[in-house]
Amino acid sequence: MYRLVFTQVLRRFDAEAVHHLTVSALALLARLPLLKRLLHRAFAPHDPALRMTAFGVHFPGPLGLAAGFDKDAACAEGVAALGFGHVEVGTITAHGQPGNPRPRLFRLVRERAVINRMGFNNAGAAAAARRLSRTRGVPVVIGVNIGKTKVVPESEAVADYVAAARQLAPMADYLVVNVSSPNTPGLRNLQAVELLRPLLTAVKEVADGTPRRTPLLVKIAPDLADEDVDAVADLAVELGLDGIIATNTTIRHGGETGGLSGRPLKARSLEVLRRLRGKAGDRLTLVSAGGVEDADDVWERILAGATLVQGYTGWIYGGPLWASRIHRQLSRRVRRHGMSSIAEAVGRTACTRS
Ligand SMILES: Cc1cc2nc3c(=O)[nH]c(=O)nc-3n(C[C@H](O)[C@H](O)[C@H](O)COP(=O)(O)O)c2cc1C
Q: Closest residue (by CA) to atom 1 of ligand 1?
A: 116
Helix, coil or strand: residue 108:
strand
| Per-residue model confidence (pLDDT) at position 193 | 82
Does a cis peptide bond (omega within 30 degrees of 0) precede residue 91? yes
CA–CA separation, 110 and 121 (whole Å): 27
Residue set of the binding site: 67-71, 91, 116-120, 145, 178, 183, 219, 247-249, 262, 291, 312-313
Alpha helices in the chain (DSSP H): 2-8, 15-30, 33-43, 76-81, 125-132, 157-168, 193-208, 226-239, 266-280, 295-303, 313-318, 322-336
| Per-residue model confidence (pLDDT) at position 350 | 36
Ligand 1 centre from 34 Cα, in Å? 31
Ligand 1 contact, 118 CB (< 6 A): yes
CA–CA separation, 204 and 214 (whole Å): 9
Ligand 1 centre from 146 Cα, in Å? 13
Q: Tens digits of per-residue pLDDT, 261-318?
A: 999 999 999 999 999 999 999 999 999 999 999 999 999 999 999 999 999 999 999 9
pTM: 0.96
Does a cis peptide bond (omega within 30 degrees of 0) precede residue 103? yes
Residues in the chain: 354
Ligand 1 centre from 213 Cα, in Å? 26
Residues 2-345, CATH architecture: Alpha-Beta Barrel (3.20)
CA-closest candidate to residue 62, choices 343, 282, 285, 321 = 343
| Per-residue model confidence (pLDDT) at position 46 | 94
Ligand 1 centre from 33 Cα, in Å? 29
Ligand 1 contact, 114 CB (< 6 A): yes
| Per-residue model confidence (pLDDT) at position 71 | 96
Helix, coil or strand: residue 240:
coil
Ligand 1 contact, 312 CB (< 6 A): yes
- Select which of 181, 269, 288, 331 is catalytic: 181
Say which amino acid occupies 300: E
112, 263 in Cβ contact below 8 A? yes
DSSP states along 257-307: SSEEEEGGGHHHHHHHHHHHHHHHTTSSEEEEESS--SHHHHHHHHHTT-S
CA–CA separation, 324 and 155 (whole Å): 43
| Per-residue model confidence (pLDDT) at position 4 | 67
Ligand 1 contact, 115 CB (< 6 A): no
Q: Which atom of ligand 1 is nearest the CA belonging to 310?
A: 26
| Per-residue model confidence (pLDDT) at position 187 | 86
Ligand 1 contact, 222 CB (< 6 A): no
Ligand 1 contact, 318 CB (< 6 A): no
CA–CA separation, 141 and 58 (whole Å): 8
Active site residue 269: no
129, 167 in Cβ contact below 8 A? yes
Q: Tens digits of per-residue pLDDT, 92-114?
A: 999 999 999 999 999 999 999 99
75, 23 in Cβ contact below 8 A? yes
Ligand 1 contact, 149 CB (< 6 A): no
CA–CA separation, 80 and 26 (whole Å): 10
Q: What stretches in the chain show pLDDT beneath 50?
A: 350-354
| Per-residue model confidence (pLDDT) at position 48 | 97
Ligand 1 contact, 68 CB (< 6 A): yes
Q: Which atom of ligand 1 is nearest the CA belonging to 116?
A: 1
Query: Which of 250, 312, 316 best tests ligand 1's pocket when mutated (most atoms within 8 Å of CB)?
Result: 312
27, 81 in Cβ contact below 8 A? no
Residue set of the binding site for FMN: 67-71, 91, 145, 178, 219, 247, 262, 291, 312-313
| Per-residue model confidence (pLDDT) at position 9 | 65
Query: How would you class 226 by CB atoms within 10 Å of its CB: exposed for 0-12, middle for 13-18, buried for 19 or more?
Result: exposed
Residue set of the binding site for substrate: 71, 116-120, 178, 183, 248-249
